[in-house]
Each structure stands twice: as C-alpha cells, then as structure tokens.
Structure 1
Amino acid sequence: MSELFAALLLGILEGLTEFLPISSTGHLLIAERWLGHRSDLFNIGIQAGAILAVVLIYRQRLWQLLAGFLKPDQAALPSIDGDSPRGYSLKLALAFLVTAVLGLVVKKLGFALPETVTPIAWALIIGGVWMIAAEYFAERRALTLGERARITWTVAILVGIAQVVAGVFPGTSRSAATIFMALLAGTTKRASATEFAFLIGIPTMFAASGYQLMEVVRSGQAAQEDWGLFAAAFIASAVTAFIAVKWLLGYIQSHRFTVFAVYRMLLGAALLLFLPSGA
C-alpha cells in the first residue's frame, strides 16, 4: 500500500470518527496496525483538519457568541436555546476551564490507560450501553417534564468532566461522552446537547493540539515530517469531517443515536473475539 493512500485513509478515518460518537482514537489506533504508525505531528494535523471543519460549520454561531461579548445590548441578539449569547459563552468557558484544570491534574498524576486493543474494546462496549441508557432516560424525562434545550451551569461542569474522562479512557469518544453527559444532566434535546458538545470541542481540541504541537517542535520531530503526506491527510480529514458532521446534525433531528451505540458494541465484541490477547 502506498504511503499516500495510507495517509489519505487515515485522514478520512479521522474525519469520519472525530465527531461521530464512535471514538476516533480507538479507530486510529486499530487502523495503524494495518496502515502503519504515524508521527505525533501527523496525528495532530489530521485532528486539526477535523476541528477546522467544525469551525466552518459553526462559523455563524461562533460569530454570534463573539458578538455577545462585544455588544452591550444583549436584547438585540437572538437567544441560543433560551440563553443569551453571553450566558452561553460563559458556560462554554466554564466547561473548558473544568477540562483544562482536571486535565492538567490527570497529566501531572500520570494517570492513563495503555492504548492497547482490550481497554479500547471494553470502552466501546460500555460506551454503547451507556449511550442507549442515557438517551432512554433523557426521553423519559422529556415526557414527564417537557423537552429541555437550555444548557445549565451543571451541564457545563459535567460536560467538562466528561471530556477529561474521554481523554483518560481510549475508545470512549469525546463527542459521545459530552453529548450523553448533557442528555443525562438535563438537556433532553439531542440537537442542543450535540451543538454544545461540538462547540466546546473546538477550544478543547485546539488547546490539546497546540500543547502537543509545542512538544513535537521542541523534540525536533517536525524536521523529519513528510509535508506532502501531511497536507493530503489534513485536507482529507477536513473534507470528510465537514460531510460527516453536516450529515449527523441532520440525522439526529429525527433519529436516535441507537445505530452508533450498536456499532460500538459490535466493534468492541469483534475486537475481543478476534484479538483476545489485546496485543
């Protein structure tokens, strides 16, 4: 298999899985066993491509949030799920702050699971079960209390914690952890939970990528990078992520997340069955 083809496949895989609730880390770790291990800079690049796609999709919402900070007259701006742009922005900031602080604590303690197949498989299975349960309880709550779209301060804090959990447990999926934490914590509208999860993912993933990039530059790895393959994979990831996220946002308007949960459980079971040693 040519290096260019392998790089394109990894870029496409990252774009498909980064924001769908099926774990990009888990899929890439498994795919690299057949397509070859890539540099840290390459992995940072394809993740940045996926983030760029979400920035483009939410460019109007991001501008609205920025205007909410710059404009003193909040009444002139449309609300976001019943919240003012400034209030919504502050909740995003709180979720990011929780993630940053707890993430630094976890990194300082050196707590991380090995990136091997067995823990990834179990994270996929457990995450799939959790997704079905979370959506079930969210729908039950919506029937009794009414559908709730607003993001509360509690939801923001718990979403921040969920991002850290996803970072510690490979295969969990950052998008799945944040979307379904929001659903469990009281935001019963799927579209609202998903939008908040994607928006908080932008600063979180940019910050994580920037931190990793500084480490790569200091180590001198950048000088050895094949920039042609890097650019091809970056573009493939950005284009694929744009298509995948646009499709997902339309899909969840009238469908549950069940298909993703079932896929996770089947994939996890297949990994345990065919790679029982976790090698």
Structure 2
Amino acid sequence: MPDFLNALLLGVIEGVTEFLPISSTGHLLIAERWLGARSDLFNVVIQAGAILAVTFIYWGRIWDLLVNWRRPENRDYLLKLIVAFLITSALGFIVVKMGFKLPETVTPIAWALVIGGIWMLAAERLAARQVDRSEVTWRVAILVGFAQIVAGIFPGTSRSAATIFTAMLAGTSNRAAATEFAFLVGIPTMYAASAYELFKQYRLGGAVQEDWTALGIAFVVSTITAFVAVKWLLGYIRSHRFTPFAIYRIVLGIALLLFLPVGG
C-alpha cells in the first residue's frame, strides 16, 4: 500500500475513534498489525489533530469559561476541570516514573473492548434509573480524573467511554452534560500528554527520521474526521443511548479473540 494512503487510513481511524467510546488506541494498534507499525511521534501528532478538532468545536464554551471566570457557575466548573486534570497528571506522572509500558498485543485489547462494552450496557441502564441531572459535582470531577488514568493504562478501555460513564454513574446522569465535561477535561489532558511525548521524541531524535509528508496528511485527515465524528456524536446522544457503541465493542472484541492466535 502506498505510504500516503497508509497515513490517510490511520488518520481516519484516529479521527473517528478518538472521541467515540470505542477506543482509538485499541483500533490503531490493531490497524498497525495490517498497515504497518508507525512511530510514537506519528501517533502523538495525529492524536493532536483530533484534540485540535474538539478544541474548535468547544471553543465558544472554552472562551466563555475563561473570559467570564468570575461568574460563580463558570468558576466552579473551571475548578472542577482543573482538579480532574491535576489528578490525572499526578497519577500519570507516577505511572511514567514506575516505567509502566502499555501492552501492545491484540488479546488484552480485545478483552478490554468486551469488558468495556458490557460495562457500558450496565452503566447505561443504571444511569437511566437516576434523576436527569446536568450538574457536575466534585465527586464527578474527582472520579473522572481517576477514570482517565485507568483508560490510559489499559488500551482498549477508551478514555471517552471511561470518563463519560463514570460521570453519568457518579451523578451527572444527563448524557450531553457528562459528555461535555468528559471532552473538556480531555482537552488539556491530551494536549499535555502529546506535548510530553513530542518533547521526549525530540530529545531521542525521533523527529529526524520521521516522514513529515505522511505525518502531515494523517494530521489533517485526523483533524477533519474527528471534527465530523464529534459533531455527529453530540447530536446523536441528545436522543439516543450509547448502546450501539457497546454492542460494537463486544462484537469486535469477541471476533478478535476468536480469529487471532493466543497472545497475537
């Protein structure tokens, strides 16, 4: 396959899956088994494209929070975003210092997809029994901070799935409100993680050997497809549940377990 087409496909996969609750890391690792492995720098940059798209989508909300931070409701929301981010950052620093490395085999990803899908179905039912609430409590903020680390440690979990459903079960039962908080706290978290990885790759000299043409193609494609995917998702969840995503995860995970060799 031509390299530019390979990069384009990986950009599409990253853009579509980064903020849908189906795990971008899991899909990229699986895709690279057939399309060829890419550098850590490549994966970080195309992820940054997806984050940029969500930043554009929520720019009005972000601007209002920052400019009108003196309003009690804005200040309260900002503080909760900051606390969730700091919890993730502190725990992430500990994980990095411990030298924890993500497993890069498909089998644990497949199990994470299946378990995560079942958990999503159960969580959706439990959240539906609660009173519809849009408020983000301190408990929600704290638990979302922990949920981001769990998703970061176990590929296939999905950061968006972990944070959205944690928020819904912890008290923000309204899907739209839970999704907004999960995505907003993900923006600084993922920018920080991307900046760290870029700095690390720069120190290791990874930028010198990178194919910047392919990387540029993947970045642009990732940004565009993420923008379309997230805009669609935000409209979809206003009147639909996350059930189809959970079923997709379970089907994909079972298929991988059945058709791949053990530990493949």
Q: If the TM-score is normalised by the length of the shorter chain, which range does it land in?
A: over 0.9
Corresponding position of 2:99: 110
Residue 55 (structure 1) aligned with residue 55 (structure 2): yes
Paired position in structure 2 for 1:255: 240
CA distance in 2 between counterparts of 1:22 and 1:164 reads 16
1:66 match: secondary structure: helix
C-alpha separation between the residues in 1 aligned to 2:100 and 2:51? 26
The question of whether the paired residues in 2 share the 8 Å contact of 1:49 and 1:235 is answered with yes
CA distance in 2, matches of 1:95, 1:50: 21
Q: Structure 1-normalised TM-score?
A: 0.93
Q: CA deviation at 1:107?
A: 1.9
Partners in 1 of 2:254 and 2:162 — Cα distance?
20
1:87 to 71, 76, 80: 76
> Which ranges in structure 2 are unaligned for 5 or more consecutive residues?
none
Query: Which aligned runs of 4 or more in structure 1 are off by greater than 3 angstroms?
Result: none
Conserved? CA contact 1:112–1:169, under 8 Å:
no
What's the TM-score once normalised by structure 2's chain length?
0.98
Q: Secondary structure of the residue that 1:224 maps to in structure 2?
A: coil
1:244 aligns with 2:233: no
**Alpha-carbon deviation of 1:41?**
1.2
Please give the secondary structure, in 1, of the residue aligned with 2:136.
Answer: coil
The amino acid that maps onto 1:111 is F
Identity among equivalent pairs (%): 67
Cα deviation digits, residues 122-155 of structure 1 (max 9, x gap):
100000011111111111112xxxx110000110
Corresponding letter in the other structure for 1:99: T
Find 1:172's aligned residue among 157, 161, 165.
157
Do the aligned partners of 1:25 and 1:170 also contact (CA within 8 Å) in 2? yes
- Residue of structure 1 in register with 2:198 after alignment: 213
Q: Is the 8 A contact 1:272 1:278 kept in 2?
A: no
Structure 1 SS opposite 2:68? helix
Is 1:225–2:222 an aligned residue pair? no
The residue that corresponds to 2:68 in the other structure is 68
Deviations, residues 228-275 of structure 1 (Å, cap 9, x unaligned): 111110000000000000000000000000000000000000000001
* Structure 1 residue aligned with 2:114: 125
Matched, 1:11 2:11: yes
Q: How far did 1:194 drift?
A: 0.3
The residue type paired with residue 43 of structure 1 is N
| Amino acid paired to 2:60 | Q
Q: Across the two proteins, how many residue pairs are aligned to each other?
A: 264
2:258 aligned partner: 273
